[in-house]
Chain A
Amino acid sequence: DAGVIQSPRHEVTEMGQEVTLRCKPISGHDYLFWYRQTMMRGLELLIYFNNNVPIDDSGMPEDRFSAKMPNASFSTLKIQPSEPRDSAVYFCASSFAGWGQPQHFGDGTRLSIL
């Protein structure tokens, strides 16, 4: 079975540019999560969706970050404008609904803002 698919795997761009990260969750999963991982701050939850609706975006660092889930099989995380401190690995994860369902992670997008 296909797992969570993220694209691109690597992104290098200059500060000020718009960056769009993409995620395809596992088919049938009701929840989708976006995380950011850095050496300094570890793994941070940015936002999560349930049935395509954002539930909690309290982890989104600034208004420069936005996320959408237009349908059950696709989500985007956008940074506009990007800054060097946004450099990190961004993970998408998905899970079934229900107490204690594990999250399944994609391989991440390594983002470098120059």
Chain B
Amino acid sequence: AQSVTQPDIHITVSEGASLELRCNYSYGATPYLFWYVQSPGQGLQLLLKYFSGDTLVQGIKGFEAEFKRSQSSFNLRKPSVHWSDAAEYFCAVGPMEYGNKLVFGAGTILRVKS
């Protein structure tokens, strides 16, 4: 079955430090991959997406992610974290079957310390 694993439930980084959030997927074909961010009390906002082509994709808010087929990974990175980046981050893969159904990871909560 298709699945998404985010190994880290919580991550704490200092403001200004670099960030990498891990995502591993299990999927039978080349997947469509997404990263979403959820701030407290808000819905999920799309950060970036990968469909094909260049394996390094740029997103909003200074985030980027790299698709590595050999490792079945799609890790999210940011070179310098700001306090406003504190949120929960979700990796998702799809579509699983007919339609645009996505499978989401369990999420990683990012805390930023000043």
Contact = CB atoms under 8 A, between A and B. Distances in A.
Interface of A: 4, 31, 33, 42-43, 45, 48, 50, 55-56, 91, 93, 95, 97-108
Interface of B: 32, 34, 36, 41-46, 49, 51, 90, 94-95, 98-102, 104, 106-107
B98 A55 contact: yes
A43 B107 CA distance: 9
Contacts of B94: 100
A45 B51 CA distance: 22
B3 to A, nearest CB: 13
Quick one: which of A55, A93, A100 has the most chain B CB within 10 A? A100
A56 B106 contact: no
A106 B95 CA distance: 20
Quick one: which of B32, B43, B100 has the most chain A CB within 10 A? B100
Contacts of B101: 33, 45, 48, 56
Given A42-B106, A45-B101, A100 B46 contact: no
